[in-house]
Chains A and B, each alone.
With several copies, the nearest count.
Chain A
Amino acid sequence: MNVLPNSDGAGLRAAARRGLRRGRDFVDETPPDALVTVTVAAVSLLAAFAGFLAVSSLTAIPFAVFLVATGYGWLRHQELTARVLTLTTTVSTILVLGLILVFIFAEAWPTVQYATVNVFGVPIPGLRLFIETRWSPVTPPIQYSLVPMIHGTVLVTIIATAVAAPLGVAAALFLSEIAPRTVRELVKPGVEILAGIPSIVYGFIGFTILSPWAADQFDIVGQGTYLFVGIVVGLMALPTVVSVAEDALNSVPESMKSGSLALGTTDWQTMTSITLPAAFSGVSAAVLLGVGRAIGETMAATVMLRGSPGLTKPLYNVFYGNATLTSLIAANYGDADGLQLSALFVAGVILFVTVLFLSIGSQYIEARMRRKLGGAE
């Protein structure tokens, strides 16, 4: 999405100097009462935020001051107030991400600490969460192993990706390159609408129709299989993959496609040799987005799985399904407290970090491809 500029110390220093200068200029140029208003607003907002964080009943007072100050600023110094307000909203957006990070990490910390293991005298916090395989939050010996859930999440994600990625990309190719215009104009919005089917509805159908059917077909004990959760999650991610990948394919310039066709190649050759490679970044971003959805998908897994953390036997037995990181949280948050609740937050941290990396990764791929393609967007 963006090209990271090379960060060298000199650049940073220069930037800092520029910032300082700009700050001074700003103070010089701004009328004093505007400056006061903005300062009051900023300080009171900060105070309100601090109050909220500290669970103070007085939070409302600085917030009221903030409202009054901005109201005054809006009437008298709209230009400046607008700028400051929009800056505030921007900062809050980043703050939300920061707060999520801080809070779920903080909540997760007790269990991470509890699960410290000494390796050659070096304490490694949280290691026990990943080397044990038993989740037993109540019955001693108490263990908070996340391995079974990670195993479940990985299996579901692999299956879902195997469903959503090839089918989704092929369908996107169909929509953007092959389908007649009328079909495309009907199907594209249809697919986008389908992306909105709530996951609980998929879960409902999976739970009432698919799970019993699978138990019957594969003669398994009980219901809930990673295989079918994976398939359902894959289907759920499918419209997203199709829609995003289609956009990417569509953004390949017509001149490139025409260029290939004018050389006397078939449509299929043009698609595989020109369009797909050129749209590679967008298509892979679509797939990564789909993978992210699959990893973070909660309700279908919660409803369809058995909810008893444990590894399947053998490990590749996809006909059994116990729990994923998400379903663990959804199924247990209500019963858990203390370290067990904290362990659920560890699961949340793992999910969050994984998906964040996927997101950053896809942004990076896209930026790189864009650079490589030069002007060809």
Chain B
Amino acid sequence: MSETRQTTDDGQTTDSELAGGASASPGTDQPLEVTSGETRERTREEWVEHEFEGDAKLSVSDLDVYYGDDHALNGVSMEIPENSVTALIGPSGCGKSTFLRCLNRMNDRIKAARIDGSVRLEGEEIYQEGINLVELRKRVGMVFQSPNPFPKSIADNISYGPRKHGDLDTGLLANLLGRSDDDAVDELVERSLRQAALWDEVQDRLDDNALGLSGGQQQRLCIARALATDPEVLLMDEPASALDPIATSKIEDLVHDLAEEYTVVIVTHNMQQAARISDQTAVFLTGGKLVEYGDTDQVFEDPQSQRVEDYISGKFG
């Protein structure tokens, strides 16, 4: 594994070259009638270049996704720095979720999806033969738009991942043989719930069914569940869209804190939220194109693209 990590630099350089090539001639397949109220404008290469210190945790180059004939992502290239929050914004249907799901290959679950291009996790290509999907998804965790706890107890929800990975053993047999990891489980559950700022609310009912929690609690439980497997990257697809303001602000705080240890990529449709919590922001616009990517402050205060400016100022979307 150490070898593969060393190749990161090479990977990066190639990526940026590729990215340049990709955005060189994007205007050709622009549809004639612009139905979504956007002005015609050609995306410039430099708009999507984002300089940062350190290595890229994830680097995406020339990613194209098709659902059948539908071109959902169109030549997207971007590099995501480590231990930071990257926000993806854009109007509905512009491919944010699609992009996110490409990063841990959850798009494999969609039969109609066809994916071209390359995504590297610490320099290692995840779209290659022989990739261990299970391992990949352990390292790149995901939280979905609507909370989806398992119909199990709260504690079981948290310990589910590690248990299935064999890190924890609490079965009947393990108990009989006296090698049960019950204490480790308890500890893990507490730590994960604390990280997800849920511990105080649920500590007395860890054995209750998770479906009995409120929406916001469920969503934080899902975050805790993802954290329990100790991923390096955390993908979040509109994690707060189904929540009330209080729950939302808790999640926002949480995301902020997580960025110290994890690489967080978050999709949101709420521009204020993006502005509040992210270090860098990527703006997708209709047609599955990444139009602008850069420091959050810069993107919101001084967008380079006119369309992005229109979008941010609420003229459409």
Contacts and interface: CB of A to CB of B under 8 A. Distances in A.
| A touches B in complex, CB < 8 A | yes
B24 interface: no
Contacts of A278: 150-151
Which secondary structure characterizes the binding site on chain A?
helix
B151 A372 contact: yes
Interface residues of A, number: 25
B106 A258 contact: yes
Interface string B144-157: 10101111100000
Interface string A92-108: 00000000000000000
A185 to B, nearest CB: 11
B225 A263 contact: yes
B295 to A, nearest CB: 29
A258 B151 contact: no
A258 B109 contact: yes
Contacts, number: 77
A145 B72 CA distance: 65
B249 to A, nearest CB: 24
A373 interface: yes
Contacts of A277: 151-152
Interface stretch (B73-81, B88-96, B130-138): B130-138
Nearest to B162: A263
22 contacts: A181-B111, A254-B109, A256-B151, A258-B106, A258-B144, A258-B148, A259-B148, A259-B150, A260-B150, A262-B137, A262-B142, A263-B164, A263-B226, A264-B138, A264-B139, A265-B161, A266-B164, A269-B164, A278-B150, A372-B151, A374-B211, A376-B211
A273 interface: yes
B166 to A, nearest CB: 10
Nearest to B149: A259
Nearest to A270: B164
Contact of A265 (B111, B134, B149, B152): B134
Nearest to B226: A263
Given A258-B148, A277-B151, A373 B141 contact: no
Contacts of A254: 109
Nearest to A375: B211
Nearest to A264: B138
B148 A263 contact: no
Interface of A: 181, 253-266, 269, 273-274, 277-278, 372-376
B211 A262 contact: no
A260 B225 CA distance: 10
B278 interface: no
A263 B111 contact: no
A260 B150 CA distance: 8
Contact of B144 (A259, A265, A273): A259
Contact of A273 (B141, B146, B164): B164
B146 A264 contact: no
Contacts of B141: 262-263
A374 B148 CA distance: 12
Contact of B226 (A261, A262, A372, A375): A262
